[in-house]
C-alpha cells in the first residue's frame, strides 16, 4: 500500500516537472521569436516616429544665387519661343504678333530687332518705347502681352523609371504625383516620403522636402525649372 502511494506521488511530481519544462520551453521559444522580431519592430517604430513627427512639406533656403523665376504672372520674364502681341497706341499698322527668336529678339517696324527676352512685359514695352522715341514717334505708348507661353519644363531624377526632362502642358498645372507618374512611377526602392524639390525664386534657391504619401504632398504644384529628386529608401 505504501509502495502504491509512493508510485502515485512520483508520477504526480513527474507530471508537474514535465508541465513546468513545457512552459519553460514555450517561453524560451516566444522569447526567441520576440528577439528575432526586434529589428523589424525597431524599423517600424522609426518609420512611425519619422512620419508622425515631421511636416508633409518643409523647405530651406540654399546658399546659391538664383535667376528670376519664370512663371506666368505679373513678374513673368519673357523667354525665347514665347508668342507676343505688340501694340502701339494710335499706330494700328505697327501692331504685330510674333514669336521671340532664339536670340531673344523680335522685329519692330521702324527700329528693327529689339531684344526683350529676360524682361518683364512692362520692361519690354519700356524698351520699345525708348527706341521709338529716338526720332521716330512722339511719346509712343507701347503695350506687350503674351499670347502663348513657351513650353515650360521640369526635371525629375533619382529612383523613377524614366528620369529626364518633362513638359508642363500650356495653361495647365502639374502636381508632384502627376510628375512622378509622367516619369513612369517610382522604382521599387524609391522613397516617396522624402522627395526633394529644388526651386529657384527671386531671393534664392530653395530645397523643399515633400512627403508624396500625404494629402498635401500629392497636391504639391510643380513649377517651371523645378528639379525633383526621388531618393533611395533606406529600408
Contact by Cβ (8 Å): 124, 56: no
Domains of the chain: total: 3
pLDDT at 42: 46
pLDDT at 47: 45
Task: Give the Cα separation of 66 and 36 in Å (integer).
Answer: 51
158 shares a domain with 60:
yes
177 shares a domain with 63:
yes
| Per-residue pLDDT reduced to its tens digit, 16-55 | 545 555 545 544 555 554 455 445 444 544 444 444 455 7
161 shares a domain with 62:
yes
Query: At 212, which CATH number?
Result: 3.10.560.10
Domain span at residue 156? 56-68+151-230
Contact by Cβ (8 Å): 209, 196: yes
Q: How confident is the model at residue 4 (pLDDT cuts 50, 70, 90)?
A: very low
Instruction: Note whether residue 168 is domain-resident.
Output: yes
Instruction: Note whether residue 177 is domain-resident.
Output: yes
Handedness of CA 161, 166, 170, 173 (dihedral sign): positive
Asked which of 103, 131, 148 is the last residue of a domain, the reply is: 148
Asked which of 105, 125, 148 is the last residue of a domain, the reply is: 148
166 shares a domain with 130:
no
Q: Which three cell numbers stand for residue 233?
A: 529608401
Instruction: Note whether residue 78 is domain-resident.
Output: no
Task: Give the Cα separation of 78 and 75 in Å (integer).
Answer: 10
Instruction: Note whether residue 8 is domain-resident.
Output: yes
Instruction: Note whether residue 208 is domain-resident.
Output: yes
187 shares a domain with 140:
no
Element (H, E) at 84: strand 83-88
The percentage of the chain sitting over the pLDDT mark of 90, rounded to a whole number, equals: 55
Q: What is the mean pLDDT of residues 161-176?
A: 90
209 shares a domain with 103:
no
115 shares a domain with 18:
no
Task: Give the Cα separation of 10 and 230 in Å (integer).
Answer: 70
Q: What is the mean pLDDT of residues 99-106?
A: 94
**What phi and psi values does residue 109 have, to the nearest 5 degrees?**
-55, 145
pLDDT at 93: 92
**Rounded to two decimals, what is the model's pTM?**
0.53
Asked which of 123, 148, 173 is the last residue of a domain, the reply is: 148
Identify any residues that bridge with 221 across adjacent strands, giving them in sequence order. Answer: 175
Amino acid at each position: 500500500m505504501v509502495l502504491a502511494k509512493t508510485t502515485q506521488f512520483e508520477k504526480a511530481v513527474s507530471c508537474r516537472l514535465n508541465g513546468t519544462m513545457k512552459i519553460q520551453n514555450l517561453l524560451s521559444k516566444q522569447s526567441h521569436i520576440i528577439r528575432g522580431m526586434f529589428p523589424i519592430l525597431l524599423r517600424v517604430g522609426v518609420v512611425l516616429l519619422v512620419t508622425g513627427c515631421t511636416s508633409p512639406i518643409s523647405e530651406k533656403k540654399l546658399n546659391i544665387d538664383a535667376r528670376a523665376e519664370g512663371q506666368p504672372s505679373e513678374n513673368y520674364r519673357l523667354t525665347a519661343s514665347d508668342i507676343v502681341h505688340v501694340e502701339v497706341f494710335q499706330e494700328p499698322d505697327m501692331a504685330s504678333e510674333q514669336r521671340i527668336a532664339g536670340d531673344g529678339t523680335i522685329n519692330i517696324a521702324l527700329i528693327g530687332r529689339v531684344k526683350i527676352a529676360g524682361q518683364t512685359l512692362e520692361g519690354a514695352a519700356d524698351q520699345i518705347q525708348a527706341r521709338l522715341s529716338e526720332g521716330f514717334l512722339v511719346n509712343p505708348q507701347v503695350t506687350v502681352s503674351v499670347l502663348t507661353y513657351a513650353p515650360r519644363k521640369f526635371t525629375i531624377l533619382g529612383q523613377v523609371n524614366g528620369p529626364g526632362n518633362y513638359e508642363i502642358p500650356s495653361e495647365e498645372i502639374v502636381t508632384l504625383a502627376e510628375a512622378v507618374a509622367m516619369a513612369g512611377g517610382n522604382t521599387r526602392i524609391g522613397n516617396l516620403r522624402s522627395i526633394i524639390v529644388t526651386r529657384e525664386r527671386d531671393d534664392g534657391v530653395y530645397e523643399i522636402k515633400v512627403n508624396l504619401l500625404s494629402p498635401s504632398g500629392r497636391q504639391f504644384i510643380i513649377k517651371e525649372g523645378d528639379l525633383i529628386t526621388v531618393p533611395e529608401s533606406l529600408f
